[in-house]
Structure 1
Amino acid sequence: MASPLAGCAAVNSLLFWAYSYGKFAQTGSLDVTPTLGQIAVAGAGAGIVNSILASPVELIKVRLQVQNSTSIAASATLFRGPVHLATHLAQQFGVRGIMWGFWATVAREVPAYAAFYTGFEFTKRRLAHALSDGDSSKLGAVPLMCSGSVGGICYWTACYPLDVIKSRVQNAAAPPRGVGYIARAAKDIMKEQGVKGFFRGYTPSVVRSIPAAGVTFATYELVMRALNDAK
């Protein structure tokens, strides 16, 4: 828990900053409402930027989660926490050890956050037309949470097979080399488990995302309103 907890604030700050900048870069103004296509592009760009922090945070998380149950860990040191593991990876593999699986993370984050933000904005705009004459700034916490939950479902639906591949890569015995490791990991999963192997754990991930994404988006929207009102 320590790895995602410590990295949560930094990862989400970077993510939402990159997303906001992506919208502004396309519209040229904070007062212009972006199209859903522009939302998707901004989300995809935010996913790329977010991978810089998300990749090492998730690497440490997934390796600590399985260290007591894998053959890799059976013959290796059991790590006390994220700092112990990060130090070990840096000493053994250098920067490559900390950024282990970076491109697999990028491959996951691009469709994930394109869908995440588009699902949220689409639902928010629909609810705004239904509940507040099209003005999304009047939506309360519950509609915003519902919109965020839809975004969370869209996130996992868009990227789950890629998340499985990323986790496999980051739990390997050593950091991958070359540019084809994502395809090789996908091929191995298909050979061992078939198509269903790419969707193992999908349901609990979606169930978790419903409250998590709902709270994330509602908090973000309400805090932004409060900051704008305080100007």
Structure 2
Amino acid sequence: MPLGTSPVVAEAEAWTWENAAAGAAAGFATVAALHPLDVVRTRFQVSGGRGWSEVPPYRNTAHAVYTITRSEGLRGLYAGFYPAVLGSTVSWGLYFFFYNRAKQRYLQRKNDQLHPVHHLISAAEAGALVSLFTNPIWLVKTRLQLQTAKHHTSQYSGFSDALKTILREEGFLALYRGIGPGLLLVTHGAIQFTAYEELRKAMIFFKSAQSRADDAGGGESLLNSIDFAALGAGSKVAAILLTYPYQVIRARLQQRPGTDGTPKYSNSWHVVKETAKYEGVRGFYRGITSNLLKNLPAASLTFVVYENVIKLFKATKEKT
């Protein structure tokens, strides 16, 4: 294996299904640990929107957590938990599966180490496919997270009720509201995974240079969970800062229509115009603090779980 090559690159053909299982495990662990911050992030994203004035005026992340806990209890902090678990588990599982299948294709064509552009294209392909599969799940999750006692006279009782109600009242296409910015968010994963792969190679090269005199093992054996955590968080920062406005646009598009059945925003461009007119640039970054508080440890946890599950699969196969 070329020095610095990720195991998910060098062994893509052998590990595609294992990558999917590891990704699913990572997605589940991330949501289970950090869901309340996702609820806060979603509410901040729409709190300045002209269509949802019923949201409480949260001052900051800590105040939002306190207010939700006091007025809605733990149930409020875990609103939309089941679709979030389902969506994250399915998304990460499919993402790693499609990502590694794409890298496998490029490896077969080049027969050597992949370049950053191949990681970028592979991540973009995976993100687009995952968006098409999971947009309905994220839409339901968003609506459940935005429910408060004041928000709507007829509340969704859970995931299945929300799904049935949306199909009955708004039709099938409503499940794909926000798919436009969702597809634009493909750039988020592309940036994150490209940064992760390149930072990973740089870290392995640096550690290899330090340990060469001791004839230590090369490649991924040089990295530990602390390294994976740092790589995950570092790659996530760049992706969040560059693509966060798309998340705000998607969240505002996915709000439940008013009691008259009229959507708050007609399309993505409507969201952009209204947000820019009434809130300025700050409007496109609402909730970014809670987003960073959630997603930096989430990215670290995701890659720590993923890489260690892959190591476990590898060790098991070597024994057999």
Instruction: Tell me the TM-score normalized by structure 1.
Output: 0.87
2:285 is aligned with 1:199 = yes
Match of 1:95? 172
Cα distance change on mapping 1:223 and 1:210 into 2, 3 Å: same
Match of 1:84? 161
Secondary structure at 2:155 match in 1 = coil
The runs of at least 4 consecutive aligned structure 1 residues that moved more than 4 Å come to none
Cα distance change on mapping 1:136 and 1:66 into 2, 3 Å: same
Letter in 2 for 1:161: P
Per the TM alignment, residue 136 of structure 1 is displaced from its structure 2 partner at its CA by 3.3
The 5-angstrom pairing of residues 3-82 of structure 1 reads 3-28=83-108, 32-68=112-148, 73-74=151-152, 76-82=153-159
Alignment match of 1:184 (pick from 270, 273, 280) = 270
Look at both structures and tell me which one has the larger radius of gyration over its CA atoms. Answer: 2
Deviations 1:61-105 (A, max 9, x none): 1111112177xx33x411111111111001122321222222221
2:200 is aligned with 1:116 = no
2:247 is aligned with 1:167 = no
Match of 2:236? 152
2:216 is aligned with 1:130 = no
8 Å CA contact retained: 1:128, 1:139: yes
Structure 2: distance between partners of 1:188 and 1:136: 48
Letter in 1 for 2:86: A
Listed as ranges, the gaps of 5+ residues in structure 1 are none
Secondary structure at 2:113 match in 1 = coil
Between 1 and 2, higher relative CO (CA 8 Å, sep ≥ 6) is seen in: 2
Secondary structure at 2:253 match in 1 = helix
Letter in 1 for 2:314: N
Q: Which moved more, 1:150-159 or 1:115-124?
A: 150-159
Number of equivalences: 224
Deviations 1:32-76 (A, max 9, x none): 431111111111111101102331222111111112177xx33x4
Deviations 1:182-229 (A, max 9, x none): 222111111110111001111221221111111111221222233234
2:219 is aligned with 1:142 = no
Per the TM alignment, residue 12 of structure 1 is displaced from its structure 2 partner at its CA by 0.9
Per the TM alignment, residue 31 of structure 1 is displaced from its structure 2 partner at its CA by 7.4
Structure 1: distance between partners of 2:225 and 2:262: 43
Structure 1: distance between partners of 2:109 and 2:313: 18
8 Å CA contact retained: 1:100, 1:175: no
8 Å CA contact retained: 2:87, 2:138: no
Cα distance change on mapping 1:184 and 1:205 into 2, 3 Å: same
Structure 2: distance between partners of 1:220 and 1:167: 28
Match of 2:306? 220
8 Å CA contact retained: 1:101, 1:175: no
Letter in 1 for 2:255: N
Structure 1: distance between partners of 2:131 and 2:167: 18
Structure 2: distance between partners of 1:220 and 1:153: 19
Instruction: Tell me the TM-score normalized by structure 2.
Output: 0.64
Cα distance change on mapping 1:60 and 1:29 into 2, 3 Å: same
